[in-house]
Structure 1
Amino acid sequence: MSKTNPGRFFEDYRIGDVIRHATPRTIAEGERALYHALYPARHALHSSDEFAVDCGLDGSPMDDLIVFHTVFGRTVPDISLNAVANLGYAEGRWLAPVWPGDTLRAESEVIGLKENSNGKSGVVWVRTRGINQMDLPVLEYVRWVMVRKADPDAPAPDPVVPDLARTVDPHQLIVPEGLDFSNYDDQLAGEPYRCGDYAVGEVIDHVDAVTIEEAEHMLATRLWQNTAKVHFDATFREDGRRLIYGGHVISMARALSFNGLANAQIMVALNGGAHANPCFAGDTIRAWSEVLEKAETEVPGIAAIRLRLVAHKGAAGDRALLGTDGKYAPHVLLDLDYWALIPA
């Protein structure tokens, strides 16, 4: 009997299955330093203990996407090792800050299954939770993945497609305990623009660009312990190219968005997202954001801003999203819809 793990295939999933993922991970200041070395991340609340203390916190929490990538990485061996594509996200919420020294683990519940018409693969929906050492949830999200079948003749399950919210209701957004922007320093944050300075429908071109390097992507994907074959094994794809982890593109785009959205300090919800086209080493990423919605929070002086973040490998200033066929244009890499906290 083989002791190695080939990963789960579509026919291995059952509705209601709860998967406790290996391996727990303790997050330290080293992860923050590596994250800021890999991405041009400059949001002040995640960079400076002193800035965070002035905003009512005990210190600087870990970057929100460090938490996302760490939790996501736990799930890959059980959810997407045999994936054809990661299709989307919904109902994502950051529930509590993660601090240096916290240990995170993850578990996922299978909430949807639907075999594809070709009989060779199917879509699996899971709700994943990241949990700290005190058994408190710090992150939850739904994602759906197209997964290969090991046996094309395996019977198809009864289709179950979950009914997911298009957006997270702003009343469900969690403001970290103690967060207070009454002493917020615009100069140290980098820009003077607060929530009231943005208009719904406004588009911000983030101007800067970063060329993706193979070595940096490999380092980042190992950092999150993401074991998906398409990211490491150049023989796995017919074209002999390593696919860049979609989360690498998310972090790069979020970091680029500092230029124009420096005060959108904390990601608090992930409404939806699509990895529109594959990204490879050598691609140069640019980004723009559209303001979709604004909302008050339960904390005076702290607002929520809903943003559409688009990463692409097109020319500077190119904001084309769809092609003539109604599908994503070939240069679009990421279309992400999220809520962030910003001074009102």
Structure 2
Amino acid sequence: MMKTNSGWFFEDYTIGQVMEHAVPRTVGQGERALYHALYPARHALYSSDLFAQSCGLPSSPLDDLIAFHVVFGKTVPDISLNAVANLGYAEARWLRPVYPGDTLRSLSTVIGLKQNSSGKTGVVWVRSEGFNQRGETVMSFVRWVMVRKNNLAMPAPQTVVPELRSVVPAAELMVPSNLNFDSYRHDLSGSLYIYDDYKVGEFIDHVDGVTVSEAEHMMATRLWQNTAKVHFDATARPDGRRLIYGGHVISMARALSSNGLGNAQMIAAINAGAHANPCFAGDTIRAWSEVLYLAETANPTVGALRLRLVATKGTGTELRDAEGKYHSDVLLDLDYWAFIPR
């Protein structure tokens, strides 16, 4: 009897299927320390208890993307162990901060299926949710992933492509109830620029670059317990190269964005995200942002910036060619909301 898990294949999924993912995880200061060692993260709210307390929080929460990676990692054995690539994100919402000592678990529901024309792969859409030890939802997101078929003779399922909102409305952004930026310390945050200093259409070059290494990528991906074969097994791809986990690129770009957006302290939502091209060890990630929209929140001390964050392995700001395809040096195109002092 086989006791090992070879993962789910495209033909194993059905619309409405609910998966409670295994191995809940208690997160703590170790995850914070490793995150800040792996990425040049410098947002003050996630670095200092005293700074967070001056902003009304009980202590410094864990970086928003730590919560994302942990919740995401729980889903991998059931969703993307046999993935070719993770394709995109939508309708991601951070609903409450995650603090050291919280225990996170994940649940996913299949909301879309579409077999590709080759008959060898298909796209699976899931809505994943992360819960803490009190059963409170800390975040939710939709992602879609290209998954291999195992039985190529299996008939294609009925195509269901979910309708997803292009933007999470500003009114649905969840500002932590006790967050207050009235006593915000710019000298400690490292940036003078707040809500009113940004203008729609403004481009921000984040200046710095980081060259990705195999060792750091594999450490990070193991940290999040992401077991997708393409990240570790060089024989899992025809080109014999290990694919850098897309979340690694997101975290690197977000960390780089602190140079220019140092007061955009909290990620509130991801409206849309695409891994435009694969990233491999040796690529140098650079980032730039475009300000898309400014919105007030119900909290008079907190504003919301809608930002486009682009990670590239080049130096330009052109996203697409004349045919509308992403340029080959574009790695990530992420549309997200962030909270910033007003």
**Structure 1 segment 5-44 matched on structure 2, within 5 A:** 5-44=5-44
So what's the TM-score if we normalise by structure 1?
A: 0.98
Q: Distance in 2 between matches of 1:90 and 1:244?
A: 21
SS at match of 2:113: strand
> What is the number of equivalent residue pairs in this alignment?
342
SS at match of 1:261: coil
Instruction: Note the alpha carbon deviations across 1:105-126, whole angstroms, 9 max, x for none.
Output: 0000011111122222211110
Match of 1:327 among 325, 328, 336: 325
**Structure 1: which amino acid aligns with 2:113?**
L
Instruction: Note the alpha carbon deviations across 1:74-131, whole angstroms, 9 max, x for none.
Output: 0011001111221111100000110000000000001111112222221111000000
Corresponding residue of 1:258: 258
**Structure 2: which amino acid aligns with 1:342?**
I
Q: Displacement, 1:213?
A: 1.1
SS at match of 1:89: strand
Corresponding residue of 1:154: 154
Q: Distance in 2 between matches of 1:55 and 1:20?
A: 35
Corresponding residue of 2:45: 45
**Structure 1: which amino acid aligns with 2:23?**
T
**Structure 1 segment 65-144 matched on structure 2, within 5 A:** 65-144=65-144
Q: Displacement, 1:238?
A: 2.5
Alignment pair present for 1:167 and 2:187: no
Q: Distance in 2 between matches of 1:287 and 1:21?
A: 33
Instruction: Please identify runs of 4+ aligned residues in structure 1 that moved more than 2 A.
Output: none
SS at match of 2:207: coil
Q: Displacement, 1:313?
A: 0.5
Instruction: Note the alpha carbon deviations across 1:41-99, whole angstroms, 9 max, x for none.
Output: 00000000000000000000000000000000000110011112211111000001100
Corresponding residue of 1:197: 197
Query: Which moved further from structure 2: 148-157 or 232-241?
Result: 232-241
Match of 1:340 among 335, 338, 341: 338
| 8 Å CA contact 2:74, 2:226 repeated in 1 | yes
**Structure 1: which amino acid aligns with 2:326?**
Y
**Structure 2: which amino acid aligns with 1:139?**
M
SS at match of 2:86: strand
Percent identical across equivalent pairs?
A: 69
Instruction: Note the alpha carbon deviations across 1:263-322, whole angstroms, 9 max, x for none.
Output: 00000101110001111111111000000011001101100000000000013xx11211
Q: Distance in 1 between matches of 2:226 and 2:157?
A: 28
**Structure 1: which amino acid aligns with 2:25?**
R
Alignment pair present for 1:179 and 2:187: no
SS at match of 2:72: helix
Corresponding residue of 1:272: 272
Q: For structure 1, list consecutive stretches of 5 or more residues without a partner in the other structure.
A: none
Corresponding residue of 2:233: 233
**Structure 2: which amino acid aligns with 1:281?**
A
SS at match of 2:14: coil
Q: For structure 2, list consecutive stretches of 5 or more residues without a partner in the other structure.
A: none
Q: Distance in 1 between matches of 2:124 and 2:180?
A: 40
Q: Distance in 1 between matches of 2:236 and 2:117?
A: 24
So what's the TM-score if we normalise by structure 2?
A: 0.99
**Structure 1: which amino acid aligns with 2:168?**
V
SS at match of 1:72: helix
